[in-house]
Chains A and B, each alone.
Chain A
Amino acid sequence: MPKTIKDFTDPTGKPNWCPGCGNFGIETALKQAMVNLDLDPNNVCLVSGIGCGANSPYWFSTYGLITLHGRPIPVATGVKLGNHELNVITWSGDGDAYGIGMGHFIHGMRRNANLVYIVGDNTVYGLTKGQASPTAKKGTITPSTPFGTPDPGINPLALALSVDCSFVARGYAGDLPHLTKLLEEAIKHKGFSFVDILQPCVTYAKAQSYDFYQDKTYNLAEFGHDVTKKDAALKKAFENGKKFPIGIFYKKDREVYEDTQPQFAEGPLAHQDISNVDILPLFEQYSF
């Protein structure tokens, strides 16, 4: 029987996001992508940080791990390396990813383990009541920056391109069909698939609303963008502000981290027999 969204939904409770929050769109698109790819919920591990969006694992029927603010990438990498047959999907907010977790973001992309990294980019710290996130434009007024943010926002896509991330994409939580397809591509891609998602926060980032994004987003694929060209991707990444191109910016076949270690060839580490490891050869090696 073909799966439906219900198969990926935990019936225990319903998401407690503000009505209209962009996270609903991401949740639905992600579940639909899993349906379309016919994934096995038992074989999916959704790892998140701390934030509004990062509560999502509660509402998935898959395995889930809600970690610490800023740390989902290393945890997800560990899960993936512990059992590389799992589909590991990581979900952060923009504070999680580009603030407290920035180091892991960069190194995660360098490492290129085969996992998906979704970032809900709402330009604020939603969960802690609306302070500016690293993607907020210079001058944004929030409770922590009553006189406007003093520093310019960062450009996550350009950053990703600069470390040769093997899959760089942007989605929009208000365009479900496109986001679903994009997440399918991200899951299918072998490597670190980074998807920054424009995610309206209807409570704290009223300027970045659905109305704001609706006519500023456009689908790269419809404009003949070549995903193998990094300089073209970079140009598009800097188009921020007036227009927001969405879709895959850049995609490349790069050796994935797991393939650098033959240790994984004998099956997932978690399944390897550890009942009686023979240590004698080591003693021998350390004798005269």
Chain B
Amino acid sequence: MIGGTAGEGVDLPGHLFAKLCMHAGLRLHGNGEFYSVIKGYNNIFQIRVSENPVHCLLNKFDLVLALDEETTDRYLSDIVPGGGVIYDPEVAKLKKQNDIKLFPIPLREIAKEKVGLDLAKNVVGIGAVIGLLDYPIDILRDLLIKTFAKKGNEIVDKNIAAAQAGYDFARQKFGRDFNYVLKSIADAPKTFMANGNQVISMGAIKAGCKFVSEYPMTPSSSILHTMAKHARDYNVSVNHVEDELSAINMAIGAGFAGARSMAATSGGGFALMTEAVGLAGMVEVPVVIVEVQRPGPSTGLPTRSGQGDLRQVMHASQGDFPKIVLSPGNHEEAFYMAFEAFNLAEIYQCPVILLTEKYLGEGSVNLPFLDTSELKVNRGKLLPDNKIPKNFKRFADTASGISPRTVPGQKRGAHTASSYEHREDGYFTEEIDDCNKIHERRMRKMETLEHVLPPVKLEGQKDADVTLVCWGATYGPAYEAMSWLKRNGVSANLLHVKYLLPLQPGIGEVLEKTKHPILVEGNISAQLGGLIAEKVGIEIQDKVLDYSGRPFTPDAIAEGVIKLIK
């Protein structure tokens, strides 16, 4: 873990270390915890590495690089026995510890002396980390060259000098005094590293998303940034617009024109989009909205994570209309679900909301290159030019509820799509029969979808003492909590709900057979719990809820579960 005061740059060493682990063939999970200010508060960046996929983070650290005193104050007690802390004796005075190793290194002084810049202490620090972990400095050097190439030779050289100095100091002063080493794994598959927002952007690009309109809002902004960065390579029009009202309405316009479109935001921005979510439902235009949750209400905790918006997105906009809400459990699933979201939007001609949280969106992992061979773009009932019948009715009544669709420019396909209630041909109506018929037809799309949704799967051993029930990226920590529980003599399995609207089938069947279901959710009101009670008729009594804005960790979940069953 790397900690420092905002402005000291904990991101850079975090990023460098993650890349080195990747190079070594390891799997990792990284996350930053920041205050919503630019300068002055303590920020940390944590990275967990393993030879196997890393499902989540822990709040226990093996090695801490402390750039400020607050880091040692706050986190010294979270270092595991045998672990260590690199710190600047100029900044923090630490007493000798029984079970953790102290590595005092004059980070600032070295930075000043070698490159004339106090701020380079973070790079000195990462050099020291590499020295302690006995990893080849050449690889860090190559990485620095790559990272700073665009900024010119001088910057590259300064960074290399800083890293080398930190490395040398650590090696000379502490030798092999640390029990951990960073070792390369032979023949590890090539991986790429991305946060959830980037992975979703990749899934969207793969799905042929051609249009993005967004207004920046933490923690969703990196979707805008990522899409903008790759916009020209993939011919995607990416637009930073005046507000979220514009963002969603523009995306709907592009969807109406026949371009796959997306808008991303967080809870507050989504609230502004609400009216237009209903517009998309009414005019039956495909559009994908990514909502990356942070804790509310209102401005809430802008840079933290939470799962408090499930009900907001489910119930967004007046009246009843088809709307799909899905939420991925981890980064890999986020890629595939983003792809799927665009297909669902076009097949069912309705808004699709991909609901994630800061923990996933801004947390990074590395993944082996994902298999895309099975991914097929499905544009639903979008009619090719030669299949448009003479008396084309855009909102025709059908058994599935899905009507054939045309887009502007197509001959014989012209129609008016209206936010007012309308007939099969699109013309307005207030006749009872017409209104009922089209309302029922629209809602029938949800039934059609329910029939093809894959049922939930119970993960882990079959008959367990407890069944953890969760959604979204609580999946990772809950998954690992199973093994923590096992070590404490409690057998557990896991039910992760991926489709929230319509609610994924099979939940009742699974829950009826479980001994003791326990909800694990990142909100105070157990929003999924309420949904299951309403739709499945099973009230899950026991809950482990965390609304602190900090990510769930498996040990904390296990602890919560054990309290409930003792």
Contacts and interface: CB of A to CB of B under 8 A. Distances in A.
A57 B416 contact: yes
A232 interface: no
B194 interface: yes
Contact of B407 (A81, A103, A262, A270): A270
Contacts of B415: 63-64
A269 B261 CA distance: 10
Categorize the interface residue count of chain A.
Answer: 35 or more
Contacts of A79: 253-254, 256-257, 408
A137 interface: no
A283 B331 CA distance: 14
A274 B407 contact: no
B417 A286 contact: no
B260 A274 contact: yes
A282 B243 contact: no
A274 B191 CA distance: 25
A271 B208 CA distance: 11
Nearest to B139: A288
A86 B22 CA distance: 48
B242 A107 contact: yes
Nearest to A61: B414
A182 interface: no
Given A64-B415, A77-B253, A270-B259, A287 B190 contact: yes
B194 A107 contact: no
B292 interface: no
Contacts of A61: 414
Interface in A45-93: 45, 47, 50, 55, 57-58, 60-68, 70-71, 73-83, 85-86
Contacts of B256: 45, 65, 75, 78-79, 82
A279 to B, nearest CB: 4
Given A270-B407, A284-B192, A287-B192, A104 B246 contact: yes
Nearest to A16: B428
A1 interface: no
A42 to B, nearest CB: 5
Contact of A43 (B243, B370, B408): B408
Interface in B234-266: 234-237, 239, 241-243, 245-247, 249-261
B258 A82 contact: yes
B211 A82 contact: yes
Interface in B186-216: 190-194, 198, 202, 205-208, 210-211, 213
Given A43-B408, A83-B258, A277-B206, A74 B253 contact: yes
Nearest to A275: B377
Given A58-B418, A71-B276, A269 B235 contact: yes
B414 A63 contact: yes
A275 B377 CA distance: 6
Nearest to B285: A65
21 contacts: A42-B410, A57-B418, A58-B416, A64-B416, A66-B417, A66-B419, A68-B419, A71-B279, A74-B249, A76-B253, A77-B253, A78-B250, A79-B253, A81-B257, A81-B259, A263-B236, A270-B259, A274-B207, A279-B372, A287-B190, A288-B19
Interface of B: 19, 22-23, 143, 190-194, 198, 202, 205-208, 210-211, 213, 230-237, 239, 241-243, 245-247, 249-261, 275-276, 279, 283, 369-370, 372, 377, 407-420, 425-428
